Amino acid sequence: MSASSLFLCLVGLGLFSFFFGRRRIHKLASGAHGVSQKQHSRDVYHASFLVICATFIPIVLLVVWTGVSPLVIDALLESFLKARANTASLGELNVMIAKTKAYYAGSISAAFIDDTIAEATTYYADLVARSLQARSLAVLLLAIAGAGLGVRKIALRFTARHSVERVAQWIMLVASAIAVLTTVGIVLSLIFETIRFFATVSVSEFLFGLHWSPQIAIREDQAGGSGSFGAIPLFAGTLMITLIAMVVAVPIGLMSAVYLSEYASPRLRGVAKPGIEMLAGIPTVVYGFFAALVVAPFLRDGGADIGLTLSSESALAAGLVMGIMIIPFISSLSDDVINAVPQTLRDGAAALGATHSETIKQVVLPAALPGIVSAILLAISRAIGETMIVVMAAGVAANLTANPFESVTTVTVQIVMLLVGDQEFDSAKTLAAFALGLVLFFITLALNILALYVVNKYREQYD
Amino acid sequence: MTEFSQTDARKAQLAKRYRAETRFKAFGIGAICTAGLILLFLMGSILISSLPAFTQHYVTLDIEISERHIDTQNLADSDWRGLARASLRAQFPDVQGRRDKRALGKLLSLGASDDVRDYVLANPSSLGTSVRLPVTFSDDIDLLLKGVIDRELPENERVVSNQDLAWLDQLVAEGRISRKFATKIFTNGDSREPELAGLRGALVGTLWTLLVTLLASFPLGVMAAIYLEEIAPKNRLTRIIEVNINNLAAVPSIVFGLLGLAVFINFFGMPRSAPLVGGLVLALMTLPRIIIPTRAAFAAIPPSIREAAMGVGASRLQVIMHHVLPLAMPGILTGTIIGLAQAAGETAPLLMIGMMAFIVDVPTDVTAKATVLPAQIYMWANNPERAFMARTSAGIVVLLSLLLLVNATAIYFRKRFEKRW
Amino acid sequence: MNDTTDPKIKIEARGVDVFYGEAQALHGIDLDVNANQVTALIGPSGCGKSTFLRCINRMNDVIDGCRVNGNIAIDGQDIYSSDIDVVELRARVGMVFQKPNPFPKSIYDNVAYGPRIHGLSQSREQLDHIVESSLKRAGLWAEVSDRLSASGTSLSGGQQQRLCIARAIAVSPDVVLMDEPCSALDPIATAVIEELMEELRKDYTIVIVTHSMQQAARISQRTAYFHLGNVVEHGATQQIFTNPKNQQTEAYISGKIG
């Protein structure tokens, strides 16, 4: 049976258990008339208890089996082919495995396969069929057994509510653990591939090398790609674009937050705040389009008019537009911290005869400073991790330059370039993307933690 | 001191302080105006450049639907293209020679054949008759008629030749040219021809992807929020989970793409380019963005409600299910809608898992190859044809309108059901 | 009472109305405040005493939709007239708030803030002197002289409030307004501040809002009783507390209404 029909079976069984359980406890209760015993849990809990007994473990089994069995079958197929083909080459073996699966799926015709593959396909088909059979059998048996056991437990004094609530709490705990699992998954998958990458390229070369050209490394005779995976130009390019973005975003974002929270009339605030937040809701691909097809040509032509040579993929265009994207981020976070500064401080300064701007500059902003610094750190983290704007508007070639009019590339651009399109998963080129991803992950993580630390360490307690 | 006497020095100092005040205020106004102008410029430039894509020029041809061109037994596979081109040639009887005939035929879009075929399939009675039918122009001719391509340019600098212009002028003079709303942008899938490329595939792909995202992230997010806010003991473990969720919300989206590629595709062997994988990746991204506002919604409900329910003997889960959850629902829904809107605009992680392939067909389920609206925009933006620039802008306008609609719904929800305690 | 005969009138309020939007908070207040005395404003919550206090240094200007009619004159000069600069006014009319609100800066910078923005000192030595003398007058110098660079928020509540008093008198105002300055403090800190006020009134005119009748009786020379936005009775403290003329005042004093 396929996974979905098996699942439907379980749903059906669950529904049946619900009504059966309700009938059962109802009968027990009406049979016990006159007896002093009182029913512990309401009917619905007994019914739910039965549903859980009948379906919970089978569903978990179904999911686990469906996820794990392909891995087991693949491993079996690999050892089968290894024994048959007497080949030690991993590449050849992988091709054979792929062929077997393709033939099994019917996507290549018999003309392309040899006897070994045909045998392997029979073996593979047998494995798959047996796995499916065993899965159906195990799931259904467990479901029926669970239901049977559950029915026997239903009784007037049975504490069904406690059992149901305990299970519900566990499910909720698992749900909140998914977030942790995601982080673990990110770290593990990135580290795993990065270690494989560092088997061919040394760590110091990657972190301190000045030359980046991964395309050369895919040639057969250059398996290590020595000298081509120095990521410094990428880091420098990322840094420059981030810097330009901050130069745009911090003054505009901060000043508009100050003006909106300190000076603006409620009406202006009612218009301007949603307007700035609209900038935040615009998908990054739109900013990318704006940077590549509106701002970059505009800057290039404008630069040409005053005698400047701008690349059409200049760091300036990408940085400017990224700055625009970051404005609402800085302004709304700063707005929050400025509003969190207690009014009594403003009153205190005003009562001493400070003008409004003196109050803001000398009392409100210093009091809000930890929050503002943390907002800027988060914004930097955001700019470093931003992908679409730079993919569309920044360059691909890794230039090490300090000139914002030239084209530079960034970490995220290279990740996309290395992974988009068809690729084998084992080349140094694809693995490099994961190493870059790991660097990106840790830098942004460090910035986020630093931001949290700044807020907690330097925040004044106002109550 | 008996009165507010002011020395000159203090007067001067006061004037200086007020000048600083004015200057500071001007900076603030300047910042707001800059942001506003940028928003206007961004929206304006995209809107203006999208306008050409929403209309399309057609040429009205007299088409004789005879057996000379079409096979009445097999209408679907007949030579509709030949018929459309022949009908155009009929307008210019003096055009001779293979090359000129080909050039003339190129005025029409590849989609002109579909115009004729669809008409005949819809009106079988037209077989054997002659009909007047508008058919689609090619993208370059369309742009020229819209004035996007400047006909005053020297011939070698524009894609439309002088001869094309002459033919066109004749068609204009005969009143055969019409401009209509370009429905194809909503009804077609992707295409290499800009005038035929549509968003339907991407829209449906977006829907499938978001469906997966919603189904995966909403229950998980709400359950996690209930656990963390209402049930969990405040210990080290829950503290770790909380910090983790906040950090996850700030992880760059492209890293989620790498996770999806490594885990879902390479480890679990799920299909590339499928809404299933895209939806799951976006779900992991959206999870913290649902958990955080959901927890805030729970926290905003006063403890007195919980105490009242517990006072009549409700268990903790009953308190949550009967009181806390229903009261928090508007906040939860608002958070979810906003989270989904963000997911709908996400591109980078989907590039990692291959949801940017050229796909003509409309996806029919969550495992079919598909693309999404932002990825479609990205692909169109990379196309060199000039008409694709308008197409891309139009895609953006559609995407932004959708997001605006979704966010407006969220705001409506918040306003409509918001409770102040 | 230890008043000198015929004290000089410092603040003169005539027909002061205050509106918050549509709601009227004060109705035609007439009140004189004598120089170098402590005048206490008492009355039940929401009676308008704080609102009146905030009129004297125009702190109500900050609140959206607040409107003030009538006249308030300090030394005979109308503070709501257009040629009065609110910044200058507030330098002459200091204020201490209900909750201590030191700036998140060092103790020194807290006190030096006012003199700095008003340019009251030409040199560092002069500023040091102002800070020291202000802290001394606020009775805080002995406790903080060795840690002037510590944050103002690190002090205890009572110390913070005395720091705020030092901050207010550092710009040498004529009048110090106090809005329930002891309500957030414990009894010992309160006693210290009350002593301080007796000391300060030699140099300043003090107007204090308090909800504690005992406090008003202990520290003030004159008392005004506010009720529902009106001054019901106003006179020498002793007379108000021992022999109130108005029935409402008596009811409040004796605890029948509150």
DSSP for A283-331, written as a single string: -HHHHHHHIIIIIHHHHHHHHHHTT----TTBHHHHHHHHHHHHHHHHH
Least Cα separation, residue B5 to chain C (angstroms): 10
C197 in reach of chain A (CB within 8 A): no
Rounded CA separation A197/A219 (Å) = 16
pLDDT surpasses 80 at A87: no
Q: Are A140 and A232 part of one and the same domain?
A: no
From residue C177, give the alpha-carbon distance in Å to each of B193, C28, C66, C68: 78, 20, 20, 18
Give the total residue count for chain C.
258
Q: Helices A3-31 and A43-85 sit at what angle, rounded to 10 degrees?
A: 150
For chain C positions 162-191, those within 8 Å of chain A (CB to CB) are 164, 167-168, 171, 177
Closest CB from A178, A288, A448 relative to B247: A448
Q: Closest Cα of chain A to C95: distance in Å?
A: 6
pLDDT at B74: 75
- C85 at interface of A, judged by CB pairs closer than 8 A: no
Contact A175 B223 (CB under 8 A): yes
Note whether B255 contacts A189, CB cutoff 8 Å.
no
| For residue A385, pLDDT beyond 70 | yes
Chain B positions in Cβ-Cβ contact with residue A276 (cut-off 8 Å): 35, 39
Residue where one domain finishes, among candidates A158, A185, A201: A158
Question: Is any Cβ of chain A less than 8 angstroms from the Cβ of C142?
Answer: no
The DSSP string of B337-398 is HHHHHHHHT--HHHHHTTTTS---SPP-STTS----HHHHHHHHHT--SHHHHHHHHHHHHH
**d(C-alpha B76, C-alpha A320), whole Å:** 52
Report DSSP letters for C119-159, one per residue: T--SSHHHHHHHHHHHHHHTT-HHHHTT-TTSBGGGS-HHH
Cα angle B357, A319, A448; round to 5: 85
Chains in touch with B (3+ beta-carbon pairs under 8 Å) read A, C
State which residues form the domain around A23.
3-158
Say yes or no for a CB contact (<8 Å) between B17 and C117.
yes
Expressed in angstroms, the distance from the first to the final Cα of chain B is 51
Which of B1, B2, B4 has the highest number of chain C CBs within 10 A, making it the mutation to test binding with C? B4
> What mean pLDDT value characterizes chain B?
87
Instruction: For residues A264 and A130, state if they share a domain.
Output: no
Q: Choose the closest CB to A425 out of B227, B266, B377.
A: B266
pLDDT-wise least confident of A281-290, B308-317, C106-115, C241-250: B308-317
Q: Is residue A360 part of a domain?
A: yes
- B27/A255 touch (CB, cutoff 8 Å), yes or no: yes
Q: Above 70 in pLDDT, residue A227?
A: no
Q: Which residue type does A157 have?
A: R
The residue among C171, C160, C159 whose CA lies nearest residue C121 is C171
What is the CATH code for B200-417?
Answer: 1.10.3720.10
- Asked whether residue A16 is domain-assigned, the answer is yes
Phi-psi region of A454 (alpha: psi -120 to 50; beta: other; left: phi over 0): alpha
Distance of alpha carbon A362 from alpha carbon C105, whole angstroms: 10
CATH of the domain at A290: 1.10.3720.10
> 177-206 in B: which are within 8 Å (CB) of A?
none
Stretch C173-191: mean pLDDT? 90
CA distance C41 to B70: 102
Q: Nearest residue on chain B to C172, judged by CA atoms?
A: B1
Output b/e per residue, A338-349; b: 16+ Cβ within 10 A.
beebbebbbbbb
Assess A350–C contact: CB distance below 8 Å, yes or no.
yes
d(CA B334, CA A2): 37
How many angstroms separate the CA atoms of A315 and A323, rounded? Answer: 12
| Side-chain half-sphere exposure of A287, counting CA atoms within 13 A | 33
What value does the mean pLDDT take over residues B18-27?
Answer: 94
Q: What is the pLDDT of residue B98?
A: 84
**Confidence band of A224 (pLDDT split at 50, 70, 90):** very low
Residue B395: partners with Cβ closer than 8 Å, 6 or more residues away: B199, B202, B373, B376, B377, B380
Chain B residue numbers touching C77 (CB-CB < 8 A): 3-4
- Would you say A244 and A322 are in contact if contact means Cβ atoms under 8 Å apart? yes
pLDDT digits (tens, 9 = 90+) for B331-348: 899 899 999 999 999 999
Amino acid A226: pLDDT: 45
Residue A349 in contact with partner chain C when CB distance is under 8 A:
yes
Q: Is residue A452 part of a domain?
A: yes
Instruction: Please say if the pLDDT value at position A164 is more than 50.
Output: yes
* d(CA A380, nearest CA chain C) in Å: 27
Mean pLDDT, rounded, for B170-178: 88
* Alpha carbon of B15: minimum distance to chain C alpha carbons (Å): 11
Contact call for residues B135 and B44 (beta carbons, < 8 A): no
Asked if A351 has any chain C CB less than 8 Å from its own CB, the reply is yes
Domain boundary among the residues A128, A158, A188 is at A158
Which of B1, B4, B13 lies closest to C84 in CB terms? B4
Same domain (yes/no): A293, A419: yes
| From B46, B227, B284, residue closest to A173, measured CB to CB | B227
Q: Rounded CA gap, B141 and C221, in Å?
A: 95
- Residues A248, A115 within the same domain: no
Among B residues 98-117, those touching chain A with beta carbons less than 8 Å apart: none
The pLDDT mean for chain C works out to 89
The pLDDT value given to residue C3: 47
**Closest Cα in chain B to A289:** B381
> Do A404 and A315 sit in the same domain of this protein?
yes
Give chain C positions within 8 Å (CB) of A345: 101, 103-104
Chain segment B145-158, per-residue pLDDT in tens: 888 888 888 888 88
Number of H helices, E strands in chain A: 17, 0
Domain total for chain A? 2
pLDDT score recorded for residue B259: 93
**Distance, CA of C211 to CA of C179 (rounded, Å):** 10
Compare B190 and A462 and report the one with higher pLDDT.
B190
Q: Which helix (H) or strand (E) holds B117?
A: helix B112-122
Residue A222 has pLDDT above 50, yes or no: no
- Which band of pLDDT confidence, cut at 50, 70 and 90, is reported for residue A422? low
In this prediction, residue C176 carries a pLDDT of: 93
C75 touches chain B (CB under 8 A): yes
| B239 part of contact set with chain C, CB < 8 Å | no
Nearest Cβ partner of B14 from C75, C76, C87?
C87
pLDDT at A430 over 90: no
User: Would you give the distance in Å from CA A244 to the centre of its chain?
Assistant: 27
Judge: B4–C88 Cβ closer than 8 Å, yes or no: yes
| Selection from B197, B210, B148 nearest residue B382 by Cα | B197
Q: Which residues of C touch A352 (CB under 8 A)?
A: 90-91, 94, 113-114, 117, 167-168, 171
Pairs across A and B, CB distance < 8 A: 253
Place of tokens 């704007």: A389
Q: A300 touching C, CB under 8 A?
A: no
Which pLDDT does position C207 carry in this prediction? Answer: 95
Above 80 in pLDDT, residue A240? Answer: yes
Residue B285, pLDDT score: 94
Over 60: is that where the pLDDT of C19 sits?
yes
* Average pLDDT of the segment spanning C26-54: 91
- Alpha-carbon span B353 to B228, nearest angstrom: 32
Contact B4 C92 (CB under 8 A): yes
CA distance linking residue A312 with residue A43, whole number of Å: 71
* Nearest-CA distance C92 → chain A (Å): 8
Place of tokens 């040409």: A304
Note which residues in 136-165 of chain B have CB less than 8 A from chain A.
Answer: none
Q: For residue B1, what pLDDT is reported?
A: 40
Among A445-449, C47-51, C253-257, the least confident range: C253-257
Put simply, whether B150 touches C (Cβ < 8 Å) is no
pLDDT digits (tens, 9 = 90+) for C111-149: 999 898 888 888 899 999 999 999 998 889 999 999 999
Give the integer Cα–Cα distance in Å for C87 and B18.
10
pLDDT on residue B72:
73
**With a threshold of 0.90, does the pTM exceed it?**
no
Distance CA C114, CA C35 (A): 23
CA atoms of C9 and C34, how far apart (whole Å): 4
Please list every residue in chain B whose beta carbon sits closer than 8 Å to the beta carbon of residue C75: 1-4
Q: Is residue A382 part of a domain?
A: yes
Q: What is the domain partition of chain B in residue ranges? A: 52-182, 200-417
pLDDT for B244 beyond 70: yes
Q: Lowest-pLDDT range, A44-53, A86-95, B167-176?
A: A86-95
> Which pLDDT band, with edges at 50, 70 and 90, does C91 fall under?
confident
pLDDT band at A115 (very low <50, low <70, confident <90, very high): confident
Given a contact cutoff of 8 angstroms between Cβ atoms, the answer to whether B135 and B116 are in contact is yes
Q: Are residues A256 and A381 in the same domain?
A: yes
Residues of C in Cβ contact (< 8 Å) with B6: 88
- CB-CB neighbours of C120 under 10 Å: 17
* Residue A123 and residue A236 in one domain: no
Residue in C56, C62, C66 to test binding to A, most A beta-carbons within 10 Å: C62
Across-strand partners of C26?
A: C18
Query: How close C102 gets to chain A, by Cα (Å)?
Result: 7
Q: Which residue among C99, C118, C168 sits closest to A344, beta carbon to beta carbon? A: C99
pLDDT tens-digit map of A24-67 = 888 887 776 655 567 788 888 888 899 998 888 899 998 888 88
Please give the average per-residue pLDDT across B297-312, as a whole number. Answer: 86
Domain boundary among A113, A135, A158: A158
Q: How far apart are CA A448 and CA B250, in angstroms?
A: 7
pLDDT tens across B178-237, in order? Answer: 888 988 888 888 888 888 888 999 999 999 999 999 999 999 999 999 999 988 888 888
Q: Which chains touch A (3 or more CB pairs under 8 A)?
A: B, C
Mean pLDDT (whole number) for A362-389: 94
Write down the pLDDT at residue B252. Answer: 94
Q: At residue B362, does pLDDT exceed 90? A: no
Instruction: Report the relative pairing of strands C77-78 and C93-96 from DSSP bridges.
Output: unpaired
Question: What single letter denotes the amino acid at residue B37?
Answer: L
Residues in chain A: 463
Which residue in chain A is spatially nearest to C55 when comparing CA positions? Answer: A351
Q: Cα B337–B340–B342 angle (5° rounding)?
A: 115
Residue-averaged pLDDT of chain A: 86
Yes or no, beta carbons of A358 and C94 under 8 Å apart: no
B150-188: b or e for each residue (b if 16 or more CB lie within 10 Å)? eeeeeeeebbbeeebeebbeebeeeebbeeeebebbeeb
Residues of B in contact with A178 (CB under 8 A): 220, 224, 287
How much of chain B exceeds pLDDT 90, in percent? Answer: 34
Q: Confidence band (pLDDT; 50, 70, 90) for B2?
A: very low
A276 touches chain B (CB under 8 A): yes
In this structure, is residue A169 part of a structural domain?
no
